[in-house]
């Protein structure tokens, strides 16, 4: 126990002197890095605009309120498109994620040496690139529209779903699998009766969870031209129609809150 | 045969139990889902001719990954990447520092009700608004550049980290905290010695995870002019310079993989 001798009495200390020094230098180093980063940000900022920000914010606020409520009649179709992008994207992603997850899980992979790394690479690379970037890329390839949005959401979700699913597969109770194997079941029967029932609740939970996130992401995909309500947002922004922007933001907020509520309810019912 | 006996005992043929046990709910879910799918497919317009034309470009893009071009746009790539990293570091530091007091305030077992309501409100707002929408508004207010991106990421970090920190504090072991309080500790000492040691490992793990997310998000903020590598990537896609785009994507994936590995190592050490 680190103690300090003072007037013959021992006083308890949280850290030894050495620990204190290491910590102190760690903080100093962190502070230094932060100062450098701040310096770089500060250099590429026009500070005049920043000092002017309260006035601008106030200006935008007065322009944006009240929202143009009658515009909502034109938002029905974009919202439907947004819902489709998120839902169809999630379904396609789940179809693709299941085989990837089975190939990536240590206890079900056919080859831990060759196939597992490939599956893990698919998971990491689809996960680390944002759906907006996938959308940009797909618009360049297959043209703007809802379809590009669906595929972008699908690709982005594969990694996420497969990662959570393969972790669930690795955590299954092995005794059940052994029991099914002991009855003389084939490889596929073991899968269907030993593994699938154990991961089905996790699978449903992951699907709803990802659907919720995808609703969020699909509302902004339109900013790059991939359909949905983001398209309306970006065209309203381009013509500086702030009352429309504020209405669209309110609609997006409502969609996000509702989807989160639905997802929480469904997950609560499953678990 | 034992199978026969089981069927005799049940009085009917054994079948796998259904995932949704209520048959009315099950069938209405299935029919609703099929009806939705049909409606969704009817309303999505896919220009298959355009998709077919695009396949060639898609193949070109995949080929570009075999010969990424780091050289011809080296200045833009490294400049954008540095800006992304700088934004990530600065925003993570500020975001984490702000989210600790808010996280304490949003934990029902240590904060009084008014403080709890305010902090939960901040968390809810921050979580409901996507990064890219916040970035659009902040760019409009503060002007183009990494400052808007930095503020966006800090704001998003607060919602994420405060919520998870608050949940962790709410589920902590009360006994330890009470023991510290019984020794006559002041409020700060109580937090410092009773609460902090319990939540620290998870806080560190979550913080590193958030750094990872912030970097990924910083890659798209450039699309709306909030600084970072996104602007370079957008230009590369617009000019069909797939080899440069591939180089940038490889760099992003590489850094994300490195961060993920690092966070795994650190989390294993603190837990």
B233 touches chain A (CB under 8 A): yes
Q: Are residues A49 and A88 in the same domain?
A: no
Q: Which range marks the domain in which residue B37 is found?
A: 2-42
**At CA B211, angle to CA B209 and CA B214, rounded to 5?**
110
B154 and B32 within one domain: no
Torsion angle in degrees (nearest 10) through CA of A99, A104, A108, A110: 90
Q: Domain of A264: which CATH number?
A: 1.10.3720.10
Q: Which residue of A has its CA nearest to B50?
A: A142
Neighbours of B89 (CB within 10 A): 23
List A residues 27-66 in contact with B (Cβ-Cβ < 8 A). Answer: 30, 33-34, 37-38, 40-42, 44-46, 49-50, 53, 56-57, 60
Q: Do the chains contact at A124 and B44, CB–CB below 8 Å?
A: no
Same domain, A89 and A154: yes
pLDDT score recorded for residue A76:
86
- Best of A130, A196, A214 to substitute, by most chain B Cβ atoms within 10 angstroms, is A130
Q: Are residues A208 and A132 in the same domain?
A: yes
For A34, the closest of B61, B93, B237 (CB atoms) is: B93
Look at residue A129 in the predicted model and tell me its pLDDT: 85
Q: What is the pLDDT of residue B2?
A: 56
State whether B157 and B94 are in the same domain.
Answer: yes
- B34 and B88 share one domain: no
Same domain, A116 and A198: yes
pLDDT of residue B3: 61
* Residues A26, A94 within the same domain: no
Least trusted range by pLDDT, from A143-147, A267-271, B22-26, B125-129: A267-271
- Encode pLDDT of A36-67 as tens digits: 989 888 888 878 888 888 888 888 888 888 88
Same domain, B100 and B212: yes
- Chain mean position to CA B47: 33
Instruction: Indicate yes or no: CB of B90 within 8 angstroms of CB of A249.
Output: no
Angstroms from A35 CA to nearest CA on chain B: 9
On whether both A123 and A214 belong to a single domain, the answer is yes
Query: How much is the pTM?
Result: 0.84
Q: How many domains does chain B have?
A: 2
Q: Is pLDDT above 80 for A3? A: no
| Mean pLDDT in consecutive groups of 10 residues from the start of chain B, 271 residues | 68 76 85 89 81 83 82 85 91 93 90 90 87 89 88 93 91 86 88 87 87 89 86 84 87 87 82 68
* In a domain? residue B60: no
Which ipTM did the prediction report? 0.81
Provide the residue range defining the domain that includes A216: 72-270
- pLDDT score, position B91: 93
Q: B20 with B128, same domain? A: no
**What CATH number does the domain containing B168 carry?**
1.10.3720.10
Q: Is the distance from CB of A245 to CB of A232 less than 8 angstroms?
A: no
Instruction: Based on the fold, state whether residues A28 and A77 are members of the same structural domain.
Output: no
Say if residue A271's pLDDT is above 80: no
pLDDT over threshold 70, residue A1: no
* Residue A125 distance to chain B (closest CA, Å): 6
pLDDT attached to residue A154: 93
Confidence of residue A155 (pLDDT cuts 50, 70, 90): very high
Nearest to B88 by CA among B210, B197, B179: B210
Q: A-B interface: how many C-beta pairs under 8 angstroms?
A: 144
Shared domain for A132 and A211, answered yes or no, is: yes
Answer yes or no: is B139 within a domain: yes
Note whether A79 contacts B: Cβ–Cβ < 8 A.
Answer: no
- Determine the pLDDT at residue A88: 92
Token pair of A180 as six digits: 């099914």
Residue A89 — pLDDT band, cuts 50, 70, 90?
very high
CA dist B106 and B207 (Å) reads: 17
Angle between helices B113-128 and B146-170 (to 10 degrees): 130
Please name the member of B43, B128, B227 whose beta carbon is closest to the beta carbon of A257: B128
Chain B interface mutation, best of A56, A137, A197, highest count of B Cβ atoms under 10 Å: A137
To the nearest whole Å, the CA of A143 is away from the closest chain B CA by: 7
Contact B175/A at CB under 8 A: no
Q: Which carries the bigger pLDDT value, residue B263 or residue A25?
A: A25
Are B256 and A124 inside 8 Å of each other by CB?
yes
Mean pLDDT across A182-193:
88
Using one digit for the tens of pLDDT, what is the confidence trace for A224-242?
888 888 888 888 888 888 8
- C-alpha distance from B225 to closest chain A C-alpha (Å): 12
In this prediction, residues A204-209 reach a mean pLDDT of 89
What is the arithmetic mean of pLDDT over A18-31? 90
pLDDT of residue A87: 92
- Identify the band that residue A111 occupies on the pLDDT scale cut at 50, 70 and 90: confident
Q: Do B35 and B43 contact (CB within 8 A), yes or no?
A: no
Question: A136 and A22, same structural domain?
Answer: no
From chain A residues 220-249, the ones with a CB under 8 A of any chain B CB are 220, 223-224, 233, 237, 249
Cβ neighbours around A184 below 10 Å, total: 7
Q: Whose CA is closest to A223, among B131, B158, B213?
A: B131
């Amino acid at each position: 126990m680190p103690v300090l001798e003072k007037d013959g009495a021992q006083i308890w200390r949280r850290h030894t002197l050495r620990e204190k020094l290491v910590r102190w230098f760690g903080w100093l180093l962190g502070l230094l890095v932060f100062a450098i980063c701040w310096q770089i940000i500060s250099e590429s900022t026009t500070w005049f605009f920043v000092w002017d920000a309260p006035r601008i914010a106030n200006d935008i606020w007065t322009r944006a309120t009240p929202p143009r409520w009658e515009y909502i009649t034109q938002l029905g179709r974009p919202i439907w498109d947004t819902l489709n992008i998120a839902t169809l994207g999630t379904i396609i992603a789940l179809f693709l994620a299941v085989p990837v997850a089975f190939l990536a899980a240590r206890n079900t992979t056919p080859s831990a040496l060759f196939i597992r790394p490939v599956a893990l690479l698919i998971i990491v690379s689809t996960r680390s690139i944002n759906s907006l970037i996938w959308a940009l890329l797909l618009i360049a390839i297959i043209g703007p529209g809802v379809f590009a949005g669906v595929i972008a959401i699908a690709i982005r979700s594969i990694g996420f779903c497969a990662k959570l699913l393969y972790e669930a597969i690795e955590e299954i109770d092995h005794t059940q699998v052994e029991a099914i194997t002991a009855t003389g079941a084939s490889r596929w029967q073991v899968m269907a009766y030993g593994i699938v029932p154990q991961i089905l609740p996790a699978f449903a939970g992951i699907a709803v969870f990802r659907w919720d996130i995808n609703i969020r992401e699909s509302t902004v995909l339109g900013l790059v031209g991939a359909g949905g309500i983001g398209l309306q947002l970006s065209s309203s922004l381009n013509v500086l129609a702030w009352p429309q922007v504020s209405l669209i933001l309110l609609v997006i907020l409502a969609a996000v809150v509702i989807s989160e509520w639905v997802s929480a309810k469904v997950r609560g019912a499953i678990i | 045969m034992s199978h026969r006996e089981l069927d005799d005992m049940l009085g009917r043929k054994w079948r796998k139990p259904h995932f949704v046990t209520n048959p009315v709910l099950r069938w209405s879910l299935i029919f609703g889902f099929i009806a939705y799918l049909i409606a969704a497919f009817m309303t999505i317009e896919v220009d298959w001719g355009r998709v077919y034309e695009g396949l060639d470009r898609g193949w070109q893009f995949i080929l570009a990954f075999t010969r990424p071009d780091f050289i011809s746009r080296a200045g833009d790539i490294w400049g954008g990447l540095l800006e992304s990293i700088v934004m990530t570091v600065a925003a993570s530091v500020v975001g984490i520092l702000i989210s600790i007091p808010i996280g304490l305030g949003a934990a029902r077992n240590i904060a009084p009700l008014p403080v709890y309501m305010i902090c939960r409100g901040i968390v809810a707002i921050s979580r409901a608004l996507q990064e890219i929408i916040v970035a659009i508004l902040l760019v409009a207010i503060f002007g183009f550049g990494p400052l808007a991106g930095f503020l966006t990421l800090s704001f998003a970090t607060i919602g994420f980290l405060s919520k998870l920190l608050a949940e962790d504090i709410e589920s902590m072991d009360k006994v330890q905290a009470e023991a510290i309080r019984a020794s006559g500790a002041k409020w700060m000492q109580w937090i410092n010695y009773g609460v902090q040691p319990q939540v620290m490992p998870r806080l560190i793990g979550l913080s590193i995870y958030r750094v990872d997310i912030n970097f990924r998000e910083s890659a798209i903020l450039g699309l709306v002019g909030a600084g970072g590598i996104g602007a370079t990537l957008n230009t590369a896609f617009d000019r069909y310079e797939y080899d440069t785009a591939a180089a940038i994507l490889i760099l992003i994936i590489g850094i994300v993989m490195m961060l993920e590995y690092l966070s795994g190592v650190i989390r294993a050490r603190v837990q």
